[in-house]
């Protein structure tokens, strides 16, 4: 009889140790995914704002006019200004245009935006359906025709979770 209690006590300690291990083992580390999204934003400016106008140099050139007086050609010396125009609006854009009477009709700016997202997939610790532990049980015995009881180690399976 004493040996049975020693065996039951050893089984009880083994059951407690196994359950302790199953309940306290660490969860899995969550997966971390890094997603990189590149977007190009287009800004169109139809009427750029003229900030300054500067004459860079002048070039002396000769214009030839034919047939002003019948049978005669007239040569006229003309100074042609070469200008540089600066179009700027805040920090949105800056454009330099040079030449003879230059003009900037429209400008398009393409901003490159890089968006980095960190996605963590968390694992939910699933409660265990299977259990091992000490059991005290009772039941009707058809052999002795009375209620019997007992103590032992049992394996349980949880069908429904709540």
Q: What is the mean pLDDT of residues 75-93?
A: 86
> Cα separation of 95 and 159, whole Å?
73
Number of domains in the chain: 2
- At 43 the pLDDT is 81
Longest dimension (CA), the chain: 148
Are 40 and 100 contained in the same domain? yes
With cut-offs at 50, 70 and 90, classify the pLDDT of residue 10: confident
Tell me: pLDDT of 78 over 80.
yes
Mean pLDDT of the chain: 80
Model pLDDT for residues 27-48, shown as the tens digit of each residue? 666 677 888 888 888 888 888 8
- At 126 the pLDDT is 62
Are 112 and 148 contained in the same domain? no
Tell me: pLDDT of 162 over 70.
no
In three-state secondary structure terms, 67 is coil
Are 66 and 17 contained in the same domain? no
- At 134 the pLDDT is 83
State how far Cα 93 lies from the chain centre: 28
Are 91 and 51 contained in the same domain? yes
Are 18 and 66 contained in the same domain? no
Are 117 and 41 contained in the same domain? yes
Model pLDDT for residues 94-117, shown as the tens digit of each residue? 888 998 888 888 888 878 888 888
Are 151 and 108 contained in the same domain? no
> Cα separation of 81 and 61, whole Å?
11
Tell me: pLDDT of 152 over 70.
yes
109 is a domain residue:
yes
The domain of 149 spans 2-27+125-157
Are 77 and 102 contained in the same domain? yes
Q: Are 87 and 104 in contact (CB under 8 A)?
A: yes
With cut-offs at 50, 70 and 90, classify the pLDDT of residue 84: very high
98 is a domain residue:
yes
pTM of the model: 0.40
Are 47 and 65 contained in the same domain? yes
162 is a domain residue:
no
Q: Which residue, chain included where needed, has tokens 């398009």?
A: 108
């Amino acid at each position: 009889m004493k040996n049975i209690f020693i065996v039951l006590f050893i089984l009880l300690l083994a059951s407690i140790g196994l359950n302790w291990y199953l309940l306290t083992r660490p969860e899995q580390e969550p997966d971390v995914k890094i997603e990189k999204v590149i977007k190009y934003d287009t800004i169109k400016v139809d009427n750029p704002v003229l900030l300054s106008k500067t004459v860079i140099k002048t070039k002396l050139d000769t214009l030839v006019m034919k047939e002003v007086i019948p049978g005669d050609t007239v040569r006229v010396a003309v100074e042609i200004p070469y200008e540089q125009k600066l179009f700027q609006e805040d920090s949105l854009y800056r454009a330099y245009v040079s030449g003879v009477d230059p003009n900037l009709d429209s400008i398009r700016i393409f901003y490159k935006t890089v968006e980095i997202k960190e996605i963590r997939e968390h694992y939910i610790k699933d409660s265990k359906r299977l259990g091992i532990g000490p059991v005290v049980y009772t039941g009707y015995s058809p052999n002795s025709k009375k209620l019997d009881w007992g103590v032992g180690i049992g394996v349980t399976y949880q069908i429904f979770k709540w």
